[in-house]
Structure 1
Amino acid sequence: MFIHKNEAYVIGVDYGTASVRAILVNAFNGAVVAESEYEYPRWKKGQYCNPSKNQFRQHPLDYLEGLEYTIRSLVTNTSKEIVQNIKAITIDTTGSTPTPVDETGMPLALRDEFKDNPNAMFFLWKDHTAMKEADEINAHAKKFDINYIQYSGGIYSSEWFWAKLLQALRVDKEIREATASWVEHCDWMPFLLTGGTNYKNIIRSVCAAGHKGLWADEHGGLPPKDFFSSLDPLFNTLEHPLFTEVFTSDTSAGYLCSEWALKLGLNEGVKIGVGALDAHLGAVGGQIEPYYLSKVMGTSTCDMLVIPKSDKEQILIPGISGQIDGSIIPGMIGFEAGQSAFGDVYDWFIRLLTNTTFDFILKADVEEDVKQMLIKNIQMNVLTDLSKAAKCLPFDEDSELAFDWFNGRRTPNANPYLKGAIFNLDLASDAPRIFRSLVESTCFGSRKIIEHFIEKGIPIKGVIALGGVAKKSDFVMQMMADVIGMPIKVNKAEQTCALGSAMFATVVADIYDTIETAVSALGQGLDTIYEPDLSKASLYSRRYKKYQEIGAII
């Protein structure tokens, strides 16, 4: 450990699906001194998105405005002494969320001619417009002696980098001709803050490159040029390889440039860490342990697992979202799995119940502030009321049974074509009963992931739960424990992704020498442990068997 005489602080920034959050953390005791959040205004209005086509794009201005707002808020709400002792910033983002950039490394949507073109923006992780391209990549990979997708779980996803890139190359000639390269959101932010002006200098994270971008040390980095050009000659419009090095998040990407130091109210001496994906740093913020599945539970789930490199190093787990050396904890093998829709399933049902009511309210002849108050009250109470009602319901083998594939299936065995479904409906099926079945379906999806790891030779000692759902819903968490038959530990931290970023920032700033030391010093410990109700194990197992049997037929 490197001891500093003066106080030291770091900033962790977490770009989520709907907002960006930033926290200012005391680097020696983990205390959160200040925090701030900014909702993306364009995203909130549904701009550049078309759910019927699985198109979900985000404008870089949402990211830039959010960065300036959140960090400025931290700076203005704390003392000058603390601001002077801010040593480093690390950023995590959703992923795979790539964008095309020009030769200066600027996302094309920041240029006037492309400012309203969705193909010039960031392709959010949940964008599935590249399903055809993912299918082609999977079929194409079988033609090569080296299996270039084996470290991506053996199935390349439409959520990921190369599929999205290829789809954009095909559908938009203007974007194709203006593009110098493509970059993940988590890699663009450090490049921006360090004043980058040449796309060739973008530092790529092993986290995004490995899990989403086909990078693996075992086959020499990225697949060879022929892998891409023989798939589609349009790949020849881009430089190959797009990058030749990747870095772990305990590495510095440089120093805050003068332009952004002025915008944020910080010193130019602040170090900027190499970025990473939100779930990976969330697992770190939630104090991930070897062989414990860390579930980051939000709109989707990302299930993270680490094992020491010396343990089962040669095991390849098919059907997951990748296994990469150093992607979560440097020096360990990081595994990723997850569910494409989790909280999104609950949100869909709540919208289904409330949208018509909201339409009536908005059309009512009353003051606008009264309308908004009514809508807000309904939004705040409907999930709580549904959970209370569903918790008291009796259920048996023939009760409503749902499937959680509302945004396809991520793992095991990615399949974006799958759809959600609800079985055993009758005229007695009311909102609480349907809601109960939807929650159960997301828990069954989680159980399937755990069993998949165990079946492939990786033992699971327990589950660590993180994220909004884990903190806000006792109903969901208790059912999860009952369904998987394991205790679930909920970490005390409110913003685990931002805290994980802050932990890495302390290593970047040379305050700690390893991320393990930083986690030990800054970790916030456990909030709650949900113990499984073993009296329900037999019934849930029978219902889970039906979930598997029907799911295999669909």
Structure 2
Amino acid sequence: MNANRESYVIGVDFGTLSGRAVVVRVSDGAELGSAVHEYTHGVIEGALPESGVRLGPDWALQSPEDWRDVLRDAVPKALAVAGVPAAQVVGIGTDFTACTVLPATADGIPLCEPYPDRPHAWPKLWKHHAAQPHADRVNALAAERGEPWLSRYGGKLSSEWQFAKALQVLQEDPEVYGRADRWIEAADWIVWQLTGVETRNVCTAGYKGVFQDGHYPSEEFLAALDPAFAGFAGKLGGEPAPLGGLAGRLSAAAAEWTRLPEGIAVAVGNVDAHVTAAAADAVRPGQMVAIMGTSTCHVMPSDQLAEVPGMCGVVRDGIVPGLWGYEAGQSGVGDIFAWFVDTSVPASYTEEARRRGLTVHQYLTSLAEGQRVGQHGLVALDWHNGNRSVLVDHNLSAVVAGQTLATRPEDVYRALIEATAFGARVIVEAFESSGVPVEEFVVAGGLLKNAFLMQVYADVLRRPLSVIGSEQGPALGSAIHAAVAAGAYPDIRSAASVMGKRTADVYLPDAGRADTYDRLYAEYRRLHDHFADGGLLHRLRAIRNEAGA
């Protein structure tokens, strides 16, 4: 690399509804241009494209062609916006939602392409929750056998993770399962598309694929789940590669798609939440990053290994090499607010918001922030999309207590915001009660734009909130990893210290509001613990499913 010439890297973030590319200067992390490509198919939930084959409850799929289109569309556009010569780009890094996973042939062809009318041939998005019965089976057997890896996942594997989804494919469409030479995270599949080289990354392998202490769960365990499942680990690829590593070089085909130079460095794949830690320069022990968007993922490096109940996983080197990386999460946050606005707001509110030049979210927020804490008389459970941490049960559903004929939309909207903050507090308390201190709470993601929501979180958590200095944390984090893969920095920590951005203590808790929130949180915990066994909520879901919802 010519030290006298500025060099640049590209970060590409593959989200739930769109993909974003950002051009970043290696010397200081400056973001010079970006572009977004909206997926043509979005989230496939009701029926398959073209064939119209109906999907069952709690399904969520995606199209690989949408992902390829991000490379063809967003990357060249971002480069044009930045005004950077392609010849000065030295690397590209990518991140993905996870567990977003697909069956593929040995040469990387997604099975949905030769079998477009088979639902199980399509990639399963992170929020595909139809595999909950299979997750229950995995967890029950692992507990019965005393599998040593189970404690690394807080005692339960999520239905969102690789094993439950793969077991669902095997048991509901064994032909598709048999034709799947590879069961691969989209994070690794897109790197395969860029390089022509199949790799696996230590992040998704550990958190989503149960790769612990150098191996996957034993063949004996897998066979006990289902005899035909015994060889499943053989579909998961080879030894996972370290984060920040070089996965390969940009192929000629991918260079044509992206308009980038053939042969530049391609970083090992990563998960959108975990790579954001580098963008926030939060790669030291005790720095918890909450990436708040449609859902929230909480990631934190630590120098301590502990059993934290309900965690999504703890993985050595899973966020930054040399440290244990913890992950927890909430399955619905922004999605909950969006659901409420889409389904439960009267036309008069929509009209008033339009008259004031506000979105409905902004209008409801303005009304909610005028209330005193507790004025609405409500407490809610934030389980509209199930519970990821700490209960790890995606068949749970939401509860709102305290409604009367005087309850207004802004009351419920505020109660839902508070419920997500209470859910975050449950997670923080689970860490600290297990001996893993949370030294700093750093916020990233799209919900940062709502200052009222951020203040609620500071008050509920009774701690300052630090804020990432980028509106596109995952893409910036991927660019930082690309800089490491290209050899511009020796490791992720040194790259993050130069290219990452974080402002400390942006939101400070108010003692008076925090005291009242303590009382509301106590009620939330009573409601949480009462419904935690899922009895009533599971029965209601079963009745719904039997009715053909």
Q: What is the TM-score normalised by the length of structure 1?
A: 0.90
Please show how residues 512-531 of structure 1 align to structure 2 within 5 Å. 512-526=489-503, 529-531=506-508
Contact 1:98 1:182 in 2 (8 A): yes
Q: Deviations over 1:151-177 (max 9, x none)?
A: 222211101011001101111234123
Give the secondary structure class of the aligned counterpart of 2:103: strand
Q: Hey, what does 1:318 align to over in structure 2?
A: 309
- Identify if the C-alpha distance between structure 1 residues 293 and 527 changes in structure 2 by more than 3 Å, giving closer, same or farther: closer
1:306 aligns with 2:301: yes
Q: Hey, what does 2:537 align to over in structure 1?
A: none
Q: Hey, what does 1:367 align to over in structure 2?
A: none
The code of the aligned residue for 2:294 comes to T
2:47 and 2:277 map into 1 onto residues whose CA distance is: 31
2:239 to 239, 245, 261: 245
Please show how residues 78-477 of structure 1 align to structure 2 within 5 Å. 78-79=82-83, 82-111=85-114, 114-196=115-197, 202-217=198-213, 220-236=214-230, 238=232, 240=234, 242-288=236-282, 289-308=284-303, 312-313=304-305, 315-353=306-344, 381-396=359-374, 399-470=377-448, 472-477=449-454
The code of the aligned residue for 1:95 comes to A
Q: Deviations over 1:167-202 (max 9, x none)?
A: 011112341232112000101111111124xxxxx2
The code of the aligned residue for 2:5 comes to N
Give the secondary structure class of the aligned counterpart of 1:55: coil
Shift of 1:242: 3.0
Q: Deviations over 1:367-389 (max 9, x none)?
A: xxxxxxx9999996100000000
Q: What is the TM-score normalised by the length of structure 2?
A: 0.91
The code of the aligned residue for 1:524 comes to K
Deviates more, 1:170-179 or 1:292-301: 170-179
| Root mean square deviation, CA, Å | 2.5
Contact 1:180 1:238 in 2 (8 A): no
Shift of 1:335: 0.3
- Identify if the C-alpha distance between structure 1 residues 523 and 542 changes in structure 2 by more than 3 Å, giving closer, same or farther: same
Q: Deviations over 1:264-318 (max 9, x none)?
A: 111112111110110000122112132121100011111111113xxx34x2223
Contact 2:309 2:430 in 1 (8 A): no
Shift of 1:263: 1.8
2:437 and 2:424 map into 1 onto residues whose CA distance is: 15
Deviates more, 1:435-444 or 1:238-247: 238-247
Shift of 1:413: 2.8
Give the secondary structure class of the aligned counterpart of 1:507: helix
Q: Hey, what does 1:31 align to over in structure 2?
A: 30
1:346 and 1:318 map into 2 onto residues whose CA distance is: 27
Shift of 1:67: 2.1
Shift of 1:76: 3.3
Shift of 1:394: 2.9
Shift of 1:73: 0.8
Give the secondary structure class of the aligned counterpart of 2:391: coil
Give the secondary structure class of the aligned counterpart of 2:341: helix
1:380 and 1:67 map into 2 onto residues whose CA distance is: 34
Contact 2:353 2:359 in 1 (8 A): no
Q: Deviations over 1:94-115 (max 9, x none)?
A: 000110001212111122xx22
2:234 and 2:148 map into 1 onto residues whose CA distance is: 19
Structure 1 unaligned spans of 5+: 197-201, 362-373
- Identify if the C-alpha distance between structure 1 residues 62 and 48 changes in structure 2 by more than 3 Å, giving closer, same or farther: farther
1:69 to 65, 73, 93: 73
Q: Deviations over 1:391-440 (max 9, x none)?
A: 11234387011110111111113111211111110011010011111111
Q: Hey, what does 1:547 align to over in structure 2?
A: 524
Deviates more, 1:398-407 or 1:121-130: 398-407
1:538 aligns with 2:515: yes
Contact 1:88 1:505 in 2 (8 A): yes
Shift of 1:355: 9.1
Give the secondary structure class of the aligned counterpart of 2:127: coil
Contact 1:225 1:240 in 2 (8 A): no
2:464 and 2:13 map into 1 onto residues whose CA distance is: 28
1:528 and 1:448 map into 2 onto residues whose CA distance is: 21
